[in-house]
A and B are shown apart, each in its own frame.
Chain A
């Protein structure tokens, strides 16, 4: 019990005192997960909308694949991305293994199916008659897609939240492709694992609280935007 209490006290000292290492790790986490979420949202909203609006042979299998991929194990993603980015791998020439860029790729791969799946469901729940109404008003296909995305914005915000939540909280893939190098690829989740394994529970608790607060702050912010939109 003392261990936990001491850890919590130390954690608040580190947070309130803006400990340089905690701040650096937090900022890098935010940058990597934020970028990965942005990439996943751009690609996932596009893919989800396309899947929702088009009919082609094999579509059902592809939708099934997306839904399955929403629960991809991070270590499997880490292994896959590591193999691709490994020096002798297909994308080895990019030279980004064990860099923040590789972690962005891994987290984006994890968040992409989540955003795609939620976008697909969001666009599909709009009645087909609504699409016809938009076209009947003289919209081009691009204008129609934009209207549909805007109509589904509340659910798309949920997709952003789920994507960011998945990215910022995962560890397996980031560790495998980033390597937890101090000052370069060390982020909140990898630090927590490392400090726990070293027995530095106070630092681990501090980082855990920060991770929790960061995830909560982003989610609360997006939820407020979402609920304000709903009330309009």
Chain B
């Protein structure tokens, strides 16, 4: 990741029917960076992707591509430096090979080169056997592969993907993500992908920008967004199931002691003593033991329920406040409901949010 921003969004505003659906004061994507736009439906992710793809005229603001702001005169030239993959593949009513060749033909690439590149891309996505099949006779997964091959064959500087896998079943989605990730990494293609799935975002991107109601509420490294959410909304959206209001009781340097359900926990924070803050703990960061190990940061709790998931078990506890714990693996038997356990939380696994007072 280096160099000037490949995409630079400044004071962008998109209004539709009198309502502001997108307002981004600033967002930069560096060359070779992979950014995920994360948010619920209607957050403005698709609108931002469309704006970056120069497919809509913003009501205000600019989008610069490698330092240049496209004009109506040269917009096609700028679009030809990008590829866009939409949620709906929108395949042409032609053969698969014709679909993959479309962008190259628009650019006037010589026929022999088109044939070579199309064959190479079909092979890379494992769909060579579909080359002469009508694009209207494909399964959802096959159509998604054709759509990706059609985008990657253009070898773009910028790859924009608008929820490209959201309509696919989980195995197909995971397989495609696993295929696409090394492709964008290997070519250092600047990539922006919108998704409402946090696990897709965190596994795919360097950075995540979380959108809510057309605004970016947090833009940070993927792991920071996962562990240090900016507010209650982001916390919930990125899978931080434990968000509890607590009081800062004591402070020593950058370590604060908080009262949580009658027990004391420690965390790193600059929150002031006496202030009420939101304690965020990821459910997979909590360790369970049956006997107290004598260390700080241990809560005594009663098991309320256990639920087996595919790769982990969800255990809901009552320790003066509800606490959700994810225990990885399927081998050990989870504690029975009603039993007593001890939950240990390390200071570094606790993130405190100092909420702005409501005006």
**Once bound together, how far apart are the Cα atoms of A99 and B280, in whole Å?**
87
Contacts of A210 in B (CB 8 A): none
Q: How far is the CB of A35 from chain B (nearest CB, A)?
A: 30
- Among residues of B, the one whose C-beta sits closest to the C-beta of A126 is B90
User: Among A55-63, A135-143, A173-181, which stretch is in contact with chain B?
Assistant: A135-143
CB pair B90–A138 under 8 Å, yes or no, is: no
In the complex, which residues 88-112 of chain B have their Cβ closer than 8 Å to any Cβ of chain A?
Answer: 88, 90, 92-93, 102-103, 106-107
Q: Which of A127, A132, A150 has the most CB of B within 10 A?
A: A132
**Once bound together, how far apart are the Cα atoms of A150 and B134, in whole Å?**
15
Chain A, interface SS category: helix
Q: How far is the CB of A152 from chain B (nearest CB, A)?
A: 9
**Once bound together, how far apart are the Cα atoms of A22 and B352, in whole Å?**
94
Size category, B interface? 20 to 34
Q: How far is the CB of B52 from chain A (nearest CB, A)?
A: 11
CB pair A136–B106 under 8 Å, yes or no, is: no
In the complex, which residues 107-149 of chain A have their Cβ closer than 8 Å to any Cβ of chain B?
Answer: 127, 129-130, 132-140, 143, 147
**Once bound together, how far apart are the Cα atoms of A135 and B160, in whole Å?**
14
Asked if A228 is at the interface (CB within 8 A of a chain B CB), the reply is no
CB contact under 8 A between A135 and B80, given known A129-B90, A151-B92: no
Contacts of A129 in B (CB 8 A): 86, 88, 90
Asked if A232 is at the interface (CB within 8 A of a chain B CB), the reply is yes
Contacts of B154 in A (CB 8 A): 137-138
- Among residues of A, the one whose C-beta sits closest to the C-beta of B50 is A132
Q: How far is the CB of B89 from chain A (nearest CB, A)?
A: 8
CB pair B76–A140 under 8 Å, yes or no, is: yes
Q: How far is the CB of B210 from chain A (nearest CB, A)?
A: 25
CB pair B79–A135 under 8 Å, yes or no, is: yes
**Once bound together, how far apart are the Cα atoms of A147 and B107, in whole Å?**
14
CB pair B92–A136 under 8 Å, yes or no, is: no
Task: Return the CB mask of B46-64 against A: 1 if under 8 Å, else 0.
Answer: 0000100101000000000
Contacts of B55 in A (CB 8 A): 132, 135-136
CB pair B53–A137 under 8 Å, yes or no, is: no
Asked if B83 is at the interface (CB within 8 A of a chain A CB), the reply is yes
Contacts of B80 in A (CB 8 A): 138
**Partner of B90 from A133, A139, A232 at Cβ < 8 Å:** A133
Asked if B84 is at the interface (CB within 8 A of a chain A CB), the reply is yes
**Once bound together, how far apart are the Cα atoms of A140 and B72, in whole Å?**
12
Contacts of A150 in B (CB 8 A): 92-93
CB contact under 8 A between A136 and B93, given known A129-B88, A143-B106, A232-B134: no
20 A-B contact pairs sorted by A residue (CB < 8 Å):
A127-B88, A127-B90, A129-B86, A132-B50, A132-B55, A132-B84, A133-B86, A133-B90, A136-B82, A136-B86, A137-B103, A137-B154, A138-B80, A138-B103, A138-B106, A138-B154, A140-B106, A150-B92, A150-B93, A151-B92
Interface residues, chain A, with chain B CB atoms under 8 Å away: 127, 129-130, 132-140, 143, 147, 150-151, 232
